[in-house]
Structure 1
Amino acid sequence: MEEKAKFYCALDYSMNLIGGKWKLLILHQLSGGTKRFSELKRLLPGITPKMLTSQLRELEKNGIITRKIYPEVPPRVEYTMTRHGMEIIPVLSALCDWARGVATEKGIQFSDE
């Protein structure tokens, strides 16, 4: 019998699902629609292919995104948010709004805006 992981609280569990340096950034990019690996790599400067692969696999394993492979030559793989992934979009938007407010007070600007 598989032992279930124990979490301190719901936030602890959510950090297990989407925590880390890259997962929220990946989800932010996927919130705009389906993307291929190469698109995500281009949109996330600084992420290595190995790290992107690892983070995508974890998000897929946790049911946050899906990976679809097309039987073409060369193979085409696309990543899309699941229903659970889509449910986090308002949270991402609120987090971005909060960060913009704090950054504005500190004179910080973002390269993607």
Structure 2
Amino acid sequence: MPLEITGIYASLLAIVMIVLSVRVSMLRAQSDIPMLHGENIQLAEWVRRHGNFTENAPMGLILMGIVEAFGASFLLLNVIGGTLLVGRIVHPFGIAAKDENKLARGAGALLTAISMLICVVFILVNAL
């Protein structure tokens, strides 16, 4: 069974990841810093934004795929995927060394965690 809904959200999240990755690459090229961040705060922020995304989005998608494989409803899958997507879009706006937008960072982290927790509960209830 193809994971069509998870595939849609994976594709949308891939676009977000590409945007974050391109921004890091552009800053590396502009500052001639091939590794780490060379104490360039702007580059450090973008590296962290990309890093946080790559630390969280894959697990959310793995869990969502398992939920879809269990046969979850269209509505539940879109709630999970939409929550994860919005969380991953909002979160990077809260990562900044100065004038940090704590609301964006907190909301993004919370939405991401909620999407994963919905999956965890669904999986455990249906697997046990």
State TM-score, norm by structure 2. Answer: 0.26
Q: Which has the higher helix share?
A: 2
Q: Which has the higher strand share?
A: 1
Asked which structure has the greater RCO (Cα within 8 Å, sep 6+), the reply is 2
State TM-score, norm by structure 1. Answer: 0.28
